[in-house]
Amino acid sequence: DPKFGSFVQKFEQEDKTVPVLYHNGTGEFGGYWVTLSAQYIFQYETAITWSVYACETGYPRNFAHFHEEALKNATDILTKADKVKGKNVDSYSVQTFLNGS
pLDDT digits (tens, 9 = 90+) for 14-38: 888 888 888 888 888 888 888 989 8
* Spacing of C-alpha 72 from chain mean position: 12
pTM of the model: 0.66
Q: pLDDT value at position 4? A: 65
Q: Is the pLDDT of residue 101 over 60?
A: no
Per-residue pLDDT band for 57 (boundaries 50, 70, 90) equals confident
Asked if 50 contacts 67 with a C-beta cutoff of 8 angstroms, the reply is yes
Per-residue pLDDT band for 7 (boundaries 50, 70, 90) equals confident
Q: Is the pLDDT of residue 73 over 80?
A: yes
